[in-house]
Each structure stands twice: as structure tokens, then as C-alpha cells.
Chain A
Amino acid sequence: MDRRTFLGITAATAVMPKRLLQMNGYPLNLETPLELLTDYLTPNDLFFVRSHWIPRMPDLKTWRLTVDGEVKKPLKLSLADLKKMPLAETTCVLQCAGNGRGLQNPPMPGVQWRYGAVGNALWRGVRVKDVLDRAGVNAGAAHLHTFGSDDPPGKVPPFQRSIEMEKSLDDCILAWEMNGVPLPPQHGAPLRLIVPGWAGDHWMKWLVRLSPQKAPQSGFYMDTAYRWPLNPGAPGVAFKPEEMKPLTELAVKSNITTAPKAVTMRGIYDIRGFAFSGAPDIAKVEISDDNGATWKAAQLDARHSPHAWRLWHYRWTPAKPGRATLLARATDSRGATQPRETVWNQSGYLFNGWHSVDIEVKA
């Protein structure tokens, strides 16, 4: 790096406010403070970062996406090749499967995310279907294996995943743009898989290879990690492998981002938040100030696309002096309602218990 570039980076970072929460300095894992998740599109510099390993960044001149496996015509595509194909875009939520692990009880190992390993962005690139159609997928190839360029040290298993071919052909995108600018390096540049409605472990960063296969990918990150109990169990009791299935869709969830800490009985107060699900849309968000005995509907923001989050707001009038606890719960477009308690699982995935905030009400 030349001196000018170095000084430029140093100057830019010196004046930027410190706004993300460092959960791991390396590999880089950063959480967004919940109170800053108030935009429909989460700004890139506020967007949470999840990395399994320190990536080996490619030189764009030599970078290629390899398409091999069960295909009639294996491909090696440059970014310029991909950009000649029909443009596709989607606005949707990206949430780390482990968001909320730090709220689980009893605790379990892993990054102790609380609320902010989630964001909503506009992703632009090319449909996975268009790329695979060019290669010609063989009949019987039911799983798309995905590979990134990040490489673990020593005997650590590589982060390799697969998704069902049906999902990949339906609405998945290979994105080189995030919120209108080139995909930032920490978010997977030059190319990232976008899997609308599914947890972030499927959204392979630093993507270098797609490989249709007859069987799912195997390995630690398919067979042991990212699995979800078939039936709820007792908190703290680990499930056996046969009692779990691969974790795919997000769970219906809402969070309160904006609420006053102290109010008086004479006012009406603005409460805001967001809601999302593995289902394409949110049907309603409700607020309770009596521990879930009664619920009142919040107003949903009009902005939406399938699997994007819905912002919402609610005008709250305090009922009595003292400490009030506001609860939010969402119901999605398939009728699933957010539960009071999350489903405990030994990896702490998909926490979606009701979110609450306490407000002091003065007479």
C-alpha cells in the first residue's frame, strides 16, 4: 500500500464514530446496537459483520466463479461475465443464525450476540438460476454446494454449506452490490450468495465455487452445526443428531428499537421497531403493556418486498404511573406468531422470544 492510501484510511477511520460492537476482533464479528436499526435499509457501515475465518481476498483480475459438479458445461466466470447477464435485485433481511444466543438460558458457547446480528439491505447481482441454466444442471442434482475463499487454519473444518436446489433456483441471487455500492469486503466481496428468508449461514461470503450435487454437503457445518430440533425439548438438554434437521428459514421475530426511558401520564409516545420472518411478509405486529393479557396493533410501514423486514410504529398512552413493560410480538403472512419463550437449542440459534422494554411512568 502506498503512503497516501494508508493515510487516507487512517484519516477516514479517525473521524468515523465508533458505533458497532466488537464481538470478536479477528475473525471480524461486529454487532449493531439495536437502537441504531431504525432504517428500512440498514446502512453498510452499520451492518453487522459475521466471519468464520480471516478471508483470503482475491485479485479481481484473476478472480473467477467456478461452476462444476453435476452440470453439462462447467464454467469459470469473471465478474464482467456475470455483469453481462440479466440484472436481478432483492431487498431482504440478513440475520445470523446465532443472533440472540447471548440471551439464551442456560448459556452455550459461541459468539454471544444479543439483538443486532441482523439488518435489511438491497442486494443486486444475478439470479443463481440464470448462472446454473448456462451450465445446464443434470437431472437428479438436488443440492447446490457452495464454497467461499476463506480458509481455516490447521485441522479446523472449512465453512462449506449446501442448500436445496429448489430454493437456489427460486429466488437466490449472487450479489456484487449492497445498498447501491460495490459489496464491501467484510460482507463478502466480490460475490456473495443471497438466500432470502433463510439464516445467514447459507449466505456464503467471498463466493468462489458453486457445485450442484445429488447429495447434501457433509462436514461439521452441515452435520453438527446449524441444525434445529424437530420438536422442542427441555432447556439445557442437548438433542441427539437424529432429533434435529438442518436449520433453514428464519423464525418470526420483532424487536423494539425506539422507546423513551421515562415518560409522564400526560403524553402519547412513539414506539418503533422492525419485524421479519422466514415467511415472505409480516401480517401484524402487536404491543402489550399488561404482560401479554391484551394486545393492540402497531402500524406497519408500507415499504416492503418479499423477505424484507417491516418497520412499525405504535402510539402508546401510559395507563398508570410506575414501571411499564412494553412487549412486541409479530405474526407472519403464514400465520406463525412469535412465542413468549424461544425454542431452546444447544447452539442458541434463532432466538425469537418476545422483546420487552421497561419505561418509567411519572404521574
Chain B
Amino acid sequence: MTWLLLAILAALPMPGTQFKQLPDSKGKAEIEHACYTCHSPDLLAQQRLTPKQWTATVEKMMRWGAELKESDKQVAIDYLSRHFGPENRFTPTATTPMK
């Protein structure tokens, strides 16, 4: 049983894991609701995509079940394009996995 619990813990963030905080602006709440089921904010914060690429990515994620209303799609694409465009620079957080 201990092995099982250790295994689960190892595959999840360690206690005290810090995630990147997404910047506050219009669309953040929709993004958090749609994306955080499957990804930590780190994955979003490191992207360097054009609006065309963000549109394709958001549409792919909606096909895969992301909870984003069609009426909120453009708000989400605008948010991602505004903050995580081709000029975006990302510094990963230093962390510690289990041995």
C-alpha cells in the first residue's frame, strides 16, 4: 500500500510545488476553467505562438473536451495571444522530483 501511495505522489506535483501564475487580464477565468483540468499553468506560460497557432490549439483542445463555450473561444484566444506570443520568454521553476 505504501508503494502505491508513493507511486501516486511521485507522479503528481511534490508538496509545495509552485506553478507559474498567469497574468491578470480579460479571459483569464475562462482559460483557467478550460485548461487546468489537464495542464498546469506552466505549460501555457512557456508557449510562443501566433494568433493563428493559438486558434488551432484552442480548437483542438475544444475537440478533445476542454470546457470552453463557443461564445468564449475568441476571448480565450485573445488572452493567450496577448500574453504568450512569439516574443514570450519563459524561465522554468526549479523543482525536485522523488528519487
Q: Does B37 contact A (CB under 8 A)?
A: yes
Nearest opposing residue in chain B for A186, CB measure: B10
A21 and B93 form a contact (CB under 8 A): yes
Q: What range describes how many residues of A lie at the interface? A: 35 or more
In the assembly, what is the distance between CA of A30 and CA of B93, in Å?
Answer: 10
A51 and B11 form a contact (CB under 8 A): yes
In the assembly, what is the distance between CA of A24 and CA of B11, in Å?
Answer: 12
Nearest opposing residue in chain A for B62, CB measure: A155
Would you list which residues of chain A between 11 and 32 have a CB under 8 Å from chain B? 12-13, 16-31
Q: Which residues of B contact A27 (CB under 8 A)?
A: 11, 38-39
A154 and B65 form a contact (CB under 8 A): yes
Q: Is the interface of B mostly helix, strand, loop or mixed?
A: loop
Q: Is the interface of A mostly helix, strand, loop or mixed?
A: loop
Q: Which residues of A contact B93 (CB under 8 A)?
A: 21-22
Q: Which residues of B contact A29 (CB under 8 A)?
A: 43
Looking at the complex, which one of A19, A107, A186 makes contact with B86 (CB distance below 8 Å)?
A: A107
Q: Does A259 contact B (CB under 8 A)?
A: no
- From B14, B19, B37, B53, residue with most partner A Cβ within 10 Å: B14
A154 and B64 form a contact (CB under 8 A): yes
Q: Does B23 contact A (CB under 8 A)?
A: no
A23 and B92 form a contact (CB under 8 A): yes
B49 and A107 form a contact (CB under 8 A): yes
Q: Does B94 contact A (CB under 8 A)?
A: yes
Q: Which residues of A contact B2 (CB under 8 A)?
A: 1-2, 5
In the assembly, what is the distance between CA of A44 and CA of B46, in Å?
Answer: 25
Q: Does A106 contact B (CB under 8 A)?
A: yes
A13 and B13 form a contact (CB under 8 A): no
Q: Does A156 contact B (CB under 8 A)?
A: yes
A9 and B6 form a contact (CB under 8 A): yes
* Chain A residues with a Cβ under 8 A of chain B: 1-2, 5, 9-10, 12-13, 16-31, 44-45, 49, 51, 53-55, 57-60, 102, 106-109, 111-112, 152-157, 184-186, 189
